[in-house]
Structure 1
Amino acid sequence: MRIGQGYDAHRFAPGRALILGGVTIDYPFGLEAHSDGDVLIHALCDALLGAAGLRDIGFHFPDNSEEYKDISSRHLLTRVVARLDTEGWVLGNADITVVAQAPKLSPHIEAMRSNLSVDLHSSADKINIKATTTEGMGFAGRGEGIACYAVVLIRREA
């Protein structure tokens, strides 16, 4: 078994859709990024890659490559999962914390878990997603962007 940790943060940007966990959320701002800016999936990819000793998301999907311009982060996640699969790794569980003052994410968490369970080839009960605020402190608290932490356990398939 191996454990991996991932982190990502993006600032809000006008004129973009807000996508978290593959779910489009009605909000006046999206996240500034080369891809769709899904910080939840980016942190999850980094945790999975780190656990498997395969560097990080930027190494595999560089933000200076036109191939990944505005790409769905779910597509990146499926590529990460395929890479782990070829090396014999499967998800044990994932614990994810989204840090955002707004929007309210609790109505969207089950849809996010459902998306991730499909992409991870896992049951939703192995994927935990939490949302928290910073009580007005820091960039997330000031409403400048969103951050996300992810921790995963992977294991060799028996």
Structure 2
Amino acid sequence: MLFGIGYDIHKFVENRKLVLGGVEFDYHLGLLGHSDADVVLHAVCDALLGAAALGDIGEHFPDTDPKWRGVSSKLLLFKVADLVKERRCKVNNVDVMILAQKPKIGSKKLEMKKNIAEWLHMDASRVNIKATTMEGVDAIGRGEAIAAQAIASLCEYL
């Protein structure tokens, strides 16, 4: 069994859509980033890459490459899943913690879970999505940013 962790954080800005786990939120702010800034999928990508010892998301999809500007993080996850498969690994499970003061995440957790499971070709019972606030502490607690942490495990096959 191989394990990896991932983390991402982006600050809120105006005139951007808020996308988390591939789900668009009805919120007046979005996240600043080179791609769609989906911190959930970025953290999952980094966890998978870490477990497979394949570097990090910035190495594979650098923000200096215009090819990735504005791209859906769903595409990044597909590419990471292909890299994991090439490494002769299968995703065993994914656990995500979203750190956000606003908006409320609860009503969208199941949709995010289903997306990640579908896009990684795994059973949804092996994907977990959690969310917490920061109780008003730091940039996240002040509603200036959202972060996500993820851990993933992979099984190697021959």
- Shorter-chain TM band: over 0.9
Q: Aligned residue for 1:83? A: 83
| Residue 118 of structure 1, CA deviation | 1.2
Q: Cα offset for 1:87?
A: 1.4
Q: Which residue matches 1:110?
A: 110
1:3 match: 3
Identity of aligned residues (%): 45
Partner SS state of residue 58, structure 1: helix
Q: Which residues in structure 2 correspond to 1:137-152 (within 5 Å)? A: 137-152=137-152
One-letter code aligned to 2:131: A
Distance 2:5 2:116 in 1: 17
Count of residue pairs brought into register by the alignment: 158
Equivalence for 2:65: 65
Q: Does 1:153 align with 2:153?
A: yes
Deviations 1:35-86 (A, max 9, x none): 0000000000000001100000000000011100000000000000011111
Determine the structure 1 residue equivalent to 2:12.
12
Q: Which runs of 4+ in 1 moved over 2 A?
A: none
Partner residue, 1:44? 44
Q: Distance in 2 between matches of 1:87 and 1:6?
A: 18
Aligned: 1:126 with 2:97: no
Q: Which residue number corresponds to residue 136 of structure 2?
A: 136
Which amino acid in structure 1 is aligned with residue 41 of structure 2? Answer: I
- My pick for the range that moved more, 32-41 or 88-97, is 88-97
* Matched residue, 2:101: 101
Please report the TM-score for the alignment, with normalisation by the length of structure 1: 0.98
What's the RMSD between the two structures over aligned residues? 0.7
Letter in 2 for 1:118: E
Instruction: Give the secondary structure class of the aligned counterpart of 2:33.
Output: coil
Aligned residue runs from structure 1 range 25-36, under 5 A:
25-36=25-36
Where structure 1 has 5 or more consecutive residues not aligned to the other structure, the ranges are none
Could you tell me how far 1:156 is from its partner in structure 2?
A: 1.1
* Counterpart code for 1:65: D
Q: Secondary structure at the match of 1:134?
A: coil
Q: Could you state the TM-score of these two structures normalised by the residue count of structure 2?
A: 0.98
Task: Work out the CA distance in 2 between the residues paired with 1:111 and 1:157.
Answer: 30
Aligned AA for 1:124? Answer: A
2 CA distance for matches of 1:119 and 1:2?
20
**How far apart in 2 are the matches of 1:31 and 1:157?**
37
